[in-house]
Amino acid sequence: MLYESTRGQYGRVSAAEAIKLGLAPDGGLFVPCRDVIFTEERLISMAGLSYQDRAIRILEEYLGDYTREEIAACVKLAYSAEKFDAPATAPVRKLDDSLYVLELWHGPTCAFKDMALQILPHLLTRAAAKTGEKSSIVILVATSGDTGKAALEGFKDVPGTRIIVFYPEQGVSEVQKLQMITQEGNNVAVVAVRGNFDDAQTGVKSIFADKDFNQELQNNNYRLSSANSINWGRLVPQISYYFSAYLDLLAKGEVNRGEKINFVVPTGNFGNILAAYYAREMGLPVNKLICAANSNNVLTDFIRTGVYDRTRRFLKTISPSMDILISSNLERLLYHLSGRNPEKIRQWMGSLNKTGQYQVDETVYKPIGRIFWSDFASDSDTLATIKAVHQRYGYVMDTHTAVGMRVYERYREETGDGTKTVIASTASPFKFNESVVKAILGEDAVKGKNELELLEVLAVKSRLEIPAGLRNLDQKPVLFKNVVSKEEMTEAVRNLLLKS
């Protein structure tokens, strides 16, 4: 399997080269050059396998220059019982006869990002060896909250790597911030950015695109790569859990052979739902992909109209990991739906860069409407949904999952579609405990309490244990206090790598 850039101005590369580079040098994103198809028989044959064995079957189709033994070793290191507190790794919880929750937050940082970021470091270090890379790999990450901690945890103390995480100073929860600024490891750094996630993400993209700075780093034996979902090595492991969810339902008799299901995915940067799209294209029986947005509803507008317009007010919400106006992974979807047309991609992305918007043509817009459905949920919708789900099912969900639940309810109301549906639950309720406690117990329950105190309140109410990764955060020393503007991010990287 070879990979090509969505912008069409860089040659085809191996999986290892694509993972090592992260972002294509022409500014595009790497995509596989051919489709992968699983027959129904092959899909059925995986029903009795563990999550780890299912992941191996998926990954070996895309990572052609890795041996099966190498992939198995990476999977074993990533999805061990020491890392994930659920035997199934990504368990499916049944709410009623047509609704299920796929819990993707049983890893070390309590967010779905662990599903990819526990394996990416192992894929990347093997990629460096396979391509003869002698330089240290420097991982640059822009985070809206969860990716940062998950990447830090995945890459800490990994030989031959450094990792620098940029997060919006006022754009993450207190728990998310503490998880990052107390991170231990001999190769990690965390920097706050004045601004929002899009500022941090734009700054990281600018560093990747700065040829002179990249040459300066290479002269000092450093090579940049990415742990954001722009890196194929971060995206491809996510395909596995959509297969696994379906296979779990099949194995338990919840769905019949060939029966289609819907997936609801809380969406910001479009990586998670794009993995579901790849699973669908591979042959997983999927009826509809439901894109759930918060009040930063640029994707909902796009899926409904074909016009992508980021020229709007950025809103801070109680689902901060989705507070995004530039959804990078959408570029991959557009490339596939345009018939792999790099000229169109360059035109649309150029327009987005210059004017803040673009409009796709009918040949791309029609299949979007056939495959996807989208709506958004406000903060008040989200809080009401957390409370209603707890009352109805005795189930506690975080704010992002609640966005998904509310959008699913609207989908049912508007379409009448009774297809069995799986909601991707992207974070533990403990990561966003202030909002969850407020929703379930009311405003008075959070007054005068910080997020760390509210962990205990939520544990008592939910009868769930506080995850190990969130305990005693206030007792850990703060190791990173640096704050920079978007324009100062390049210099921050220079100082950390070349002047430290």
Whether the predicted pLDDT of 147 surpasses 90: no
Dist CA 107 CA 124 (whole Å): 20
Dist CA 341 CA 345 (whole Å): 7
Q: What is the pLDDT of residue 95?
A: 99
pLDDT in tens, 222-251: 999 988 888 999 999 999 999 999 999 999
The confidence band for 209, taking pLDDT boundaries of 50, 70 and 90, is confident
Query: CA of 121: how far to CAs of 105, 162, 175, 256, in Å?
Result: 19, 11, 24, 37
The confidence band for 160, taking pLDDT boundaries of 50, 70 and 90, is very high
Strands (E), 320-392: 357-359, 372-376
The confidence band for 145, taking pLDDT boundaries of 50, 70 and 90, is confident
Q: What is the pLDDT of residue 207?
A: 95
Pick from 64, 72, 69, 70: nearest CA to 3: 64
Dist CA 409 CA 100 (whole Å): 13
Residue 18 has φ and ψ, to the nearest 5°, of -60, -40
pLDDT in tens, 445-461: 999 999 999 999 999 99
**Which one-letter amino acid corresponds to residue 116?**
A
Fold of the CATH domain 92-112+233-433: Rossmann fold (3.40.50)
Dist CA 261 CA 348 (whole Å): 32
The catalytic site residues sit at 113
Q: Region 155-182: what's the mean pLDDT?
A: 93
pLDDT in tens, 336-356: 999 999 999 999 999 999 999
Q: What is the pLDDT of residue 260?
A: 99
Burial class (CB in 10 A: 0-12, 13-18, 19+), 391: exposed
Q: What angle do CA 424, 428, 429 make, to 5 degrees?
A: 110
